[in-house]
Amino acid sequence: MTSLGDRYQAVRRATEELCAPLSAEDCGVQSMPDASPAKWHLAHTSWFFETFVLESAPDYRVFHPAFRTLFNSYYNAVGDRHARPARGLLSRPALTEVQAYRRHVDQAMARLLDDEVARAPVAARVVLGLNHEQQHQELILTDIKHAFWMNPLRPAYCAPPPERRAPPETTATPALLSWHERGGGLVEIGAAESADPGAYFAFDNEGPRHAVWLRPHALATCLITCGEYQTFMADGGYRRPELWLSDGWDAAQAGAWNAPLYWEQRNDGRWWCLTFAGMQPVAAADPVSHLSYYEADAYARWAGARLPTEAEWEAAAAAAAAPGAAAGAERNHLESGWLRPLPAAASATAGGGPAQLFGDVWEWTQSPYTPYPGFQAASGALGEYNGKFMCNQMVLRGGSCLTPGSHIRASYRNFFAPAARWQMTGLRLARDA
Amino acid sequence: MTSLGDRYQAVRRATEELCAPLSAEDCGVQSMPDASPAKWHLAHTSWFFETFVLESAPDYRVFHPAFRTLFNSYYNAVGDRHARPARGLLSRPALTEVQAYRRHVDQAMARLLDDEVARAPVAARVVLGLNHEQQHQELILTDIKHAFWMNPLRPAYCAPPPERRAPPETTATPALLSWHERGGGLVEIGAAESADPGAYFAFDNEGPRHAVWLRPHALATCLITCGEYQTFMADGGYRRPELWLSDGWDAAQAGAWNAPLYWEQRNDGRWWCLTFAGMQPVAAADPVSHLSYYEADAYARWAGARLPTEAEWEAAAAAAAAPGAAAGAERNHLESGWLRPLPAAASATAGGGPAQLFGDVWEWTQSPYTPYPGFQAASGALGEYNGKFMCNQMVLRGGSCLTPGSHIRASYRNFFAPAARWQMTGLRLARDA
Amino acid sequence: MTSLGDRYQAVRRATEELCAPLSAEDCGVQSMPDASPAKWHLAHTSWFFETFVLESAPDYRVFHPAFRTLFNSYYNAVGDRHARPARGLLSRPALTEVQAYRRHVDQAMARLLDDEVARAPVAARVVLGLNHEQQHQELILTDIKHAFWMNPLRPAYCAPPPERRAPPETTATPALLSWHERGGGLVEIGAAESADPGAYFAFDNEGPRHAVWLRPHALATCLITCGEYQTFMADGGYRRPELWLSDGWDAAQAGAWNAPLYWEQRNDGRWWCLTFAGMQPVAAADPVSHLSYYEADAYARWAGARLPTEAEWEAAAAAAAAPGAAAGAERNHLESGWLRPLPAAASATAGGGPAQLFGDVWEWTQSPYTPYPGFQAASGALGEYNGKFMCNQMVLRGGSCLTPGSHIRASYRNFFAPAARWQMTGLRLARDA
Amino acid sequence: MTSLGDRYQAVRRATEELCAPLSAEDCGVQSMPDASPAKWHLAHTSWFFETFVLESAPDYRVFHPAFRTLFNSYYNAVGDRHARPARGLLSRPALTEVQAYRRHVDQAMARLLDDEVARAPVAARVVLGLNHEQQHQELILTDIKHAFWMNPLRPAYCAPPPERRAPPETTATPALLSWHERGGGLVEIGAAESADPGAYFAFDNEGPRHAVWLRPHALATCLITCGEYQTFMADGGYRRPELWLSDGWDAAQAGAWNAPLYWEQRNDGRWWCLTFAGMQPVAAADPVSHLSYYEADAYARWAGARLPTEAEWEAAAAAAAAPGAAAGAERNHLESGWLRPLPAAASATAGGGPAQLFGDVWEWTQSPYTPYPGFQAASGALGEYNGKFMCNQMVLRGGSCLTPGSHIRASYRNFFAPAARWQMTGLRLARDA
């Protein structure tokens, strides 16, 4: 079994490897208030360990007193914080200084984690910090993608591998959308509290585990593809208000939306989209991504279907992820290195069950992000981690091709405002039985 | 039994009576984009009958062709509409012309409703139109209250009755907050489809009736009072971010909130608030109103409790409103003429059941406004009535002292954005058992 | 000679007559922050006399204490003021109450002006107040025109007279643009201080009289017409950035300008424009109006000319208005009742001199509004009348068809921000000799 | 005499030396839309030579086709341009690539300038390009200073020299403000057209040379100091609207101004300000800088004086800079290396003449930036250099401690919007005689 110290090192190193293709200048750019510079992510994830683990450790020397404010994201209980939209103005500290900050924190953490007596009381916080860092790994990628989109040169994050456009097992015979029927009744969702916190991690917002009454319904076996989405576009999807929520229609008009984010139409009428390998032609069989909730909802209405609730999704995913279920092997997560959603292979849905539940793209659900029955945020600063955002956001499930595979699970609840498009967000249809 | 024609006349006349204390100038004011001038409400409610009932009637002559656009609120399927924030710029048509419009529509409606053959196919739409008009009756009052608040002269809508400050049965012995325990399990909520639509009306968003699994919980027997809310204020309620949702804290800072809307503190430290009878001292036993969802949520967190879900509320209200339940007699709705929430009398909670479920103030629930399972918006323009707003809003229950008594029921779902404060909105606490 | 009391009555009555065609609802509308409701103008002009003349009079009883704040326009030295963009929210005081306020002030003023001893020390302020009220007469008309433009019904302020489109002496043989050459050298401009202030009035910003060195130049004999302006439009005037100042181009793009304000193109390609008699076809021979400075400047650049400086304009106007000059008889001011600019008759320019210097439209000059050499604002509140606006505005000269004839003179300096279009503003070309 | 090629190399090298203390991350920051990243300045100045000199040269190979748009500042005639507020998002091209771009342009320019035949027709444009680059040298410094101000770490651009706070000849005996009287009459200002353009350079906006009539007046012999400005502050300068232009008061309230930009008050009440050597105590004898026009104007009004007109300033400066005048030797320009304004030495004003006319800080004049009589912008893109900005800006004179000494002259007209504060801007008083 991996020690906590080893796991700490692995996660921290992974973050740095994600930044390796980026220059110091790339790492400093903030393309909109919702996004942060990679340098800020590198520092903030270190700040998290410094603030919530190391500051109470004996002999720990704070790296720089100003960092407590500079790299505080949103913890009012920790004190002041640098204004979020101004994160891109921080040419100092330099990237090299932030890297030194990481090494400083890592060395102190290594000492702490080596010490069995000192480790025990902070272990839960360390695990939280590692999960926190994994969340920022995905954000580093989505934020730099947005920054590159704002640059007319449309830079590539990395070169496409030679075989880039053809993972044989998926594009050869892509799956067709069919329906996976599921009965109704009382189901339990949410993460149960574990007797051994080291054995299993879940964020506080995933619990308490609780009963939900479901009606019979069906879930689509695959994600909606770019080709299907283009049919919606061709059918006037972006010009027909009757397909849209009122706020969604307003957002679409205000933003002049006529396609997913990162898509642009060339003079020959073909659509291209920004990928981590630069601009690429849109591939019909790929899952569509970079949709807002509003677009996902409009698509579902156009298709005569709806989005799943988070309970419907989780019940299905828990079954699929149960011991003996086969889905895991084909997951497309960060570790796969594709950095783009992949088509479902026909073989994956041959058994009638849903494919692509994990990885590829986050799936918008129709569920607003609210506290589960009985939820209580922790007291103190860490209680701010999730609870205070339980309003005006929608739940997404399943992780994406940018999510570390060890970070996702059936009960995982991601959440974004319904107009957000810069995440790797797509959709799966559902319908009443 | 009242005929549909009689009911039409009664509702229409009630709207006009609400405007009687207002001058033509008052009726033209729009104090913010969310509010509309009374003159606009008078015209729009007529537009509703003209557009959805009369336009298909033989021989109906449209009153003014431009009104189709001018008084369309949000129905994309009907066509263009005058910009909402510009409703206050319409000095023409004059109030007298809008009144002539109402008479024109009323005469055509009277002819239609007198004709049994013609009436039958439109009866359901007429009932919808009357419920629509009742919604605007409340809005006429809440919108003019906001307009008067924006006027430094702080005008009164009407003179206070002599006995204004002392409805004997309530202020003599106000009820104290206690807890009404309720078991969990499977409950059904929502309006059932009626075999006879004439017998029972519910908006489409109240159905389908469906099962919800509840956990054991308790509801406060009374609404939170101004006195209780002042304790929250005195305890730093508006200065402690840990009590607030993140968006709520931002809204409170941006709006410099330090008390409910319409409250102002005099030099002697006492709080006054705007009522329909002008500025009046805040009375400790009165239910607090003009709170946003954010404030209601923060209060509940401060109190170590939470807001009820809409299912919890409806289950309790359905029981309280069931045949044999006594709550009805003491309801404070529009017809009572008080135009302000009243304290709960101790006698009302003597039996241990919740009081004030209906009337007084709308009660914020912790439930986002989403479609019930199986909900399908109607096709066509009337499908835009409710369904397209099912995002970014929170559900309120129970009606207020400005809601017509015949308009409210246990399954009724009102909804507003969480930052809205100009409605008659307050709160009741809930807690897990 | 007219007594001051008679003149007071005449000016005050003229203001009220301008409002006679307007309903109370019309008088309450504020269509943008730069414009004010007619009711506000009626009250503010009374506030001016109350604040600067009557408040120091013995026995004067203030009409309403809140009016000091409500109707203060911009005088910091007087104290607080109601927010300018919120003037349209004041349904109270009612128009009738404002009219009573006017009568109250008028009665007190009548008593004061009847008393020779009391009159003398305030005579200068009364004359200032009357000139102030004349300025607001023009604003009442320009502001209601803008309000009517914002109303899709496009109401008319008054019926067009039968002979509306054909004042025989002008449209029969319209003047053609020719050039009035003027030599250079030292000229004096500005209002001289009069030994007898009763004999002659000028605003403080018109002095001190001072020398300016001019180069030889020429002024166009007539105003630019709608027909000439349409040629500019047809030549891509609104699509060629090289014709525009940088700020002007930005304003034109942001506002989607493609014609003067109040113009709209019908389906048949013809242009119509809003007049006080409602929408009317654009008449080619009419002077163009409702141009911003940016448009006037772009037109002049397109025409290979420039706008005159205010010194050039004044030197010509002073000569034209000198004893023996004939221009006065044909002036089109407010009293003419046309309420629209009229074409110049060929006869008016037959002598080679410039026509239309006074009346018709205000003429943008290329001169920013700055203090004349030696200018000192008065101390106290009245020093705020003009001086504090001497930045970011451009000077206009000559009055318009909405300016009272007794209010305008060669030294008169009007000023507006360069993007303002809702005034009766046009242009005359100039060029270097 | 220096060859054009040598001068080209010297100016280009100077730009790069200014960036030497900055990291690539520093060079990428844009702290507000008005400021540009240093990297952008480095590229844009090269773009200027590429676009206006090299593109017509035979054999010139464009470095990167996208740069034509990316580094176009505001030349509509050249084509599209990257949005100004998005200059800080360009992490690519990297600083190293921009440096390669500079070398590429420099090599092509060296070849061109070596070739006498090819040089002649472009010589005037090359000189313009060098003056353009010198303007950007100052902007590199003012823009990075603003970026450092937005960084809570308040970085220093360079270390202060040991003798930083005591240039002996100035602080030992600072000059006291006295008045330099000047007669009135006709003066000529502006740059004359030179028969030999190589001999003398002036921007187009400095001409034509023309006559202006001045009244007798006096100019202060020195700039206003920080100590004098603190007296204004202590006398309520920022709290008294009667001292301010209306727009200025609005800007001050909106920006919560209570001191010059870059000043902050420590807990002990002392003021510090950001310098290129980091935060330093405000020194009373130093000229005050980083004032808006509004603040300079308010100070002058408070002092019972006014700002000079640009004609008054230029007449005095031309006399002072005439052959035999001694001012030059003590000028504090970019080359002095102080990078901050210095006190005037008593000796400098001993003769009664004005000191500090050149260098130290730009001096706000009361003159709006308008075309001189007879001014015609050149046709084509280079006509956009100055002419299209002649609105809504105020003229500044004399250069600053950040201006290259070879770049400034008596006729030089700088201009900024009246609210701008991030330039090295201060003031000198004037008064009527």
| pLDDT score for A170 | 55
| pLDDT score for D326 | 46
- Which positions in chain B touch A239 (Cβ < 8 Å)? none
Q: What is the pLDDT of residues C227-264, one digit of tens each?
A: 999 999 999 999 999 999 999 999 999 999 999 999 99
| pLDDT score for B58 | 85
- Stretch D135-140: mean pLDDT: 98
Q: What is the pLDDT of residues A24-78, one digit of tens each?
A: 999 999 999 999 999 999 999 999 999 999 998 889 999 999 999 999 999 999 9
DSSP-assigned states of every residue in D195-258: SSTTT----GGG-S-EEEEE--EEEESSPPBHHHHHHHHHTTTTT-GGGS-HHHHHHHHHTT--
Residue D325 confidence class, pLDDT cut points 50, 70, 90? low
Per-domain boundaries in chain D? 4-150, 162-226+253-432
Strand pairing category for A430-432 and D394-397:
unpaired
Across the interface, whether the CB atoms of A245 and B384 are under 8 A apart is answered no
Asked if residue A165 has pLDDT above 60, the reply is no
Q: Which of residues 21-60 of B touch C (CB under 8 A)?
A: 23-26, 28-29, 31
Q: What percent of chain C has pLDDT over 90?
A: 86
Residue A326 confidence class, pLDDT cut points 50, 70, 90? very low
Q: What percent of chain A has pLDDT over 70?
A: 93
- Stretch B280-302: mean pLDDT: 97
Asked if residue B326 has pLDDT above 50, the reply is no
Q: What is the pLDDT of residues C88-114, one digit of tens each?
A: 999 999 999 999 999 999 999 999 999
- Stretch C316-324: mean pLDDT: 79
- Stretch D63-74: mean pLDDT: 97
Of D26, D69, D153, the CB nearest to A152: D69
Of D90, D152, D153, the CB nearest to A151: D90
SS3 C289: coil
| pLDDT score for C206 | 97
Phi and psi at C266, nearest 5°, equal -85, 175
Q: Which of residues 127-156 of C touch B (CB under 8 A)?
A: 147, 150-153, 155
| pLDDT score for C357 | 96
- Stretch B400-414: mean pLDDT: 97
Q: Is the dihedral of CA C306, C312, C314, C315 positive or negative?
A: negative
D384 at C interface, C-beta within 8 A: yes
Average the pLDDT over each of A47-51, B95-99, B168-172, D324-328 and give the range with the smallest value.
D324-328
What ipTM was estimated for this complex? 0.95
Report how far residue A33's alpha carbon sits from residue A24's, in angstroms, rounded to the nearest whole number. 20
DSSP-assigned states of every residue in A8-53: HHHHHHHHHHHHTTS-HHHHH---STT---HHHHHHHHHHHHIIII
Q: Tell me which residue has tokens 């049965």.
A: B169
Closest residue of chain B to A366, computed from CA coordinates: B370
Phi and psi at B69, nearest 5°, equal -85, -45
Asked if residue A349 has pLDDT above 90, the reply is no
Q: What is the pLDDT of residues B114-144, one digit of tens each?
A: 999 999 999 999 999 999 999 999 999 999 9
Average the pLDDT over each of A220-234, B151-165, D117-131 and give the range with the smallest value.
B151-165
- Which positions in chain D touch C297 (Cβ < 8 Å)? 391
* CA geometry: angle C424, C430, C432, nearest 5 deg: 160
| pLDDT score for C350 | 84
Closest CA to B11 of B145, B132, B98: B132
Asked if residue C167 has pLDDT above 70, the reply is no
| pLDDT score for C349 | 85
| pLDDT score for A193 | 81
Across the interface, whether the CB atoms of C29 and B28 are under 8 A apart is answered yes
Residue B187 confidence class, pLDDT cut points 50, 70, 90? very high
- Which positions in chain D touch C294 (Cβ < 8 Å)? 391
- Stretch B271-299: mean pLDDT: 97
- Stretch A397-424: mean pLDDT: 97
Residue A353 confidence class, pLDDT cut points 50, 70, 90? confident
Asked if residue C409 has pLDDT above 90, the reply is yes
Average the pLDDT over each of B87-96, C153-162, C338-347, D281-290 and give the range with the smallest value.
C153-162
Amino acid in position B202: A
Across the interface, whether the CB atoms of C89 and B152 are under 8 A apart is answered no
Of these ranges, C172-186, C418-432, D154-168, the one predicted with the greatest mean pLDDT is C418-432
Closest residue of chain C to D385, computed from CA coordinates: C246
Side-chain half-sphere of D337: how many Cα atoms within 13 Å? 8
The tokens for B255 are 């709006």
Across the interface, whether the CB atoms of B25 and C91 are under 8 A apart is answered yes
Q: What share of chain D is helix, strand, coil (3-state, %, to 5)?
A: 40, 15, 45
Asked if residue D431 has pLDDT above 90, the reply is yes
User: Is A19 or C350 the better-scoring residue by pLDDT?
Assistant: A19
Secondary structure letter of residue D153 according to DSSP: T
Asked if residue B410 has pLDDT above 80, the reply is yes
Asked if residue C160 has pLDDT above 80, the reply is no
Q: What is the pLDDT of residues D213-249, one digit of tens each?
A: 999 999 999 999 999 999 999 999 999 999 999 999 9
Strand pairing category for B278-281 and B271-275:
antiparallel
Amino acid in position A297: D
Of A31, A94, A151, the CB nearest to D25: A94
Asked if residue D199 has pLDDT above 90, the reply is no
Report how far residue B419's alpha carbon sits from residue B295's, in angstroms, rounded to the nearest whole number. 9
DSSP-assigned states of every residue in C369-409: --PPTT--PPSSGGGGTTGGG-SS-EEEES--TTS-GGG--
| pLDDT score for A352 | 84
CATH architecture for residues D162-226+253-432: Alpha-Beta Complex (3.90)
| pLDDT score for B199 | 67
Q: Is the dihedral of CA A156, A158, A162, A167 positive or negative?
A: negative
Across the interface, whether the CB atoms of A89 and D25 are under 8 A apart is answered no
Q: What is the pLDDT of residues B367-401, one digit of tens each?
A: 999 999 999 998 899 999 999 999 999 999 999 99
Asked if residue C352 has pLDDT above 90, the reply is no
Q: What percent of chain B has pLDDT over 90?
A: 86
Asked if residue B157 has pLDDT above 70, the reply is yes
| pLDDT score for B79 | 94
- Which positions in chain D touch C390 (Cβ < 8 Å)? 245
| pLDDT score for D302 | 98
Q: In what order do the strands lie in the sheet with C425-426?
A: C414-416, C394-397, C362-368, C425-426
| pLDDT score for A351 | 84
Report how far residue B25's alpha carbon sits from residue C26's, in angstroms, rounded to the nearest whole number. 9
Report how far residue D129's alpha carbon sits from residue D137's, in angstroms, rounded to the nearest whole number. 12
Asked if residue A320 has pLDDT above 90, the reply is no
Q: Where are the beta strands (DSSP E) in A289-426?
A: 362-368, 394-397, 414-416, 425-426
| pLDDT score for D345 | 86
What is the residue-averaged pLDDT of chain C? 93
Inter-residue long-range contacts of B37-42, CB under 8 Å, 24+ positions, other chains counted: B37/B87, B37/B88, B37/B90, B37/B143, B38/B140, B38/B143, B38/B144, B39/B90, B39/B95, B39/B98, B40/B71, B40/B87, B40/B90, B41/B15, B41/B136, B41/B139, B41/B140, B41/B143, B42/B15, B42/B16, B42/B95, B42/B98, B42/B99, B42/B102
Q: In what order do the strands lie in the sheet with D263-265?
A: D263-265, D271-275, D278-281
C239 at D interface, C-beta within 8 A: no
**B308: closest CA of chain A, how far (Å):** 11
| pLDDT score for B349 | 85
What is the residue-averaged pLDDT of chain B? 93
Of A76, A213, A418, the CB nearest to B186: A213
Torsion of CA C129, C134, C139, C141, to 10 degrees: 140
- Stretch C371-389: mean pLDDT: 94
Provide CB contacts within 8 A for D44, sequence distance 6+.
D36, D71, D73, D136
- Stretch B395-421: mean pLDDT: 97
Give, in order, the Cα–Cα distances in Å from C402 to each of A153, C174, C407.
55, 22, 11
